[in-house]
A = this chain, B = another copy of it.
Amino acid sequence: MQAPVGVFDSGLGGLTVVRALRRRMPRESIVYLGDTARVPYGTRSAATVCRYAEACARVLTAHGMKALVVACNTVSAVALEPLRAALDVPVIGVVEPGASAGVAAALRLRQAGGTPTVGVLGTEGTVRSGAYERAVRQVSPEVRVVTQAAPLLVPLVEEGWLEGDVPRLAVRRYVEPLIAKGASVLVLGCTHYPLLEPVIREVAEGLKGGPVCIVDSAEASADALAELLAARGIEGAATGQARLSLLATDLPATFSTSARRFLGAEVPDAVQIDITDRPSTLPPLR
């Protein structure tokens, strides 16, 4: 049985990354963990996100993963280096691939005399971390980055409220400052946002009065993983059966329903695991 790629996210959003991985690398087995008992991560402190991320990585290590994809922008933004230091397997986040794809698009769209500008929509944790600014600077110091926290978009997606006035007005509130600052590219800096892509595109192009490039980091991350597995010679065997396992820390039935909507009807049921409380030093309840 071949070793799987481990993937985790705070909840459902990372399934957009799983979809891209399966399309790009159909021979790879995947173990996905959604930490649905503690979602969302984007509103929490960096220290708490690191603690939660460590617990998730520990579960996937126990499943024998050969590489880890952190399919959560908030974790990628604040906990990637601690995870890389702690784990024996290679670790890929979604921020670096998304930032690279954003830079490429901004340079492609650049206009004479203008500064190529990437706009990033993200959670509060991701925006506060400055991770996209750092990642873009690594790739191209001439590209400017403007960021905007968009805290209402995750709840809208979780509720399935993807069209109509409320999502349009919420998206407008977050996208308007990015377009006003000259962004011609919008990086969807949270794995939930691709479900709102039609609204985001419509609003952004309406405000811009022309085309805006939307970057979904799931595809970019799948490319980065494919390169990494090939470079290390640890790709899945051409024979052998690629498996998909889904783990969730709460509400596995709801999780399975969403996973089938994302990935197709043949997806197996999610298994509930418990990684949450620890017995504290306080007196236990009877």
Contacts and interface: CB of A to CB of B under 8 A. Distances in A.
A271 to B, nearest CB: 14
A33 B151 CA distance: 24
A154 B38 CA distance: 16
A62 B43 CA distance: 28
Number of copies: 2
Contacts of A250: 44-45, 48
A282 B58 contact: yes
A231 B234 CA distance: 70
Interface stretch (A23-31, A131-139, A163-171, A178-186): A163-171
Contacts of A239: none
A199 to B, nearest CB: 13
A86 interface: yes
Interface in A54-111: 54-55, 57-59, 61-62, 86-87
Query: For chain A, what secondary structure do more than half of its interface residues adopt (helix, strand, loop), or is it mixed?
Result: loop
A277 to B, nearest CB: 5
Contacts of A198: none
A14 to B, nearest CB: 17
Contact of A51 (B57, B155, B276): B276
Contacts of A87: 285
Contacts of A86: 285-286
Given A58-B280, A169-B169, A48 B44 contact: no
A188 B51 CA distance: 34
22 contacts: A36-B44, A39-B43, A44-B250, A45-B250, A48-B251, A58-B282, A58-B285, A59-B282, A61-B283, A61-B285, A62-B283, A86-B285, A86-B286, A151-B158, A152-B152, A152-B156, A152-B159, A165-B165, A166-B170, A166-B173, A276-B276, A276-B277
